Amino acid sequence: MSTKDKNKHWRKNRRRRFLVFLSHSSKDDWVARQLARQIEHARASCFLDVIELEGGDDFERRIKAALQECLELVVLITPAVLDSRYVWVELGAAWGQGKRIVPLLYGLTAAEIQANPNIPVFVKRATLRSLNEADEYLNELRARIEKKGKGRPKK
């Protein structure tokens, strides 16, 4: 089975799996793809728009469905995100649904986030980690997956 076929099979069956929604600016696609690989390696399924969406898809409908389906949202907060309307909409939707929100900072410090009056309080109250500390998040993710028993099958 090709990698593309495996991904399609995995997407079809992910409703029974632990889904992480990865929110990011399109200017940070490469970094987001690397993080998505690590999330998948942690035995979760990861919704990343640049991987999941194809030309002609109803973007807003697919994003909304993935946000409803996910168990948590990871947001890659970079300088580019500060001007991204979609990231803030995705964050607000996840927050409104009571989802776990995990901010990972890249190119910004926790002090800069705390000082920025445009960042929502619910983001400031979360544990703000540098992308260099993503391993800590991934270890916590593995533990949550194990607890729920919803991880991807081991290879």
Q: How far apart, in whole angstroms, are the C-alpha atoms of residue 41 and residue 32? A: 14
Q: Is residue 52 domain-resident?
A: yes
CATH (domain of 60): 3.40.50.10140
Q: What is the pLDDT averaged over residues 124-136?
A: 95
pLDDT at 60: 73
Is residue 105 within 8 Å of residue 132, measured between CB atoms? no
The closest of 106, 143, 99, 95 to 128, measured between CA atoms, is 106
Q: Is residue 55 domain-resident?
A: yes
pLDDT at 10: 45
Q: Is residue 93 domain-resident?
A: yes
Given a cut of 90, is residue 2 above it in pLDDT? no
Count up the domains in the chain and report the number: 1
Question: Of 54 and 16, which is predicted with more confidence?
Answer: 54
pLDDT at 57: 57
- The pLDDT tens digits of the residues spanning 54-92 come to 566 556 778 788 899 999 999 999 999 999 999 999 999
Q: Is residue 154 domain-resident?
A: no
Q: Is residue 155 domain-resident?
A: no
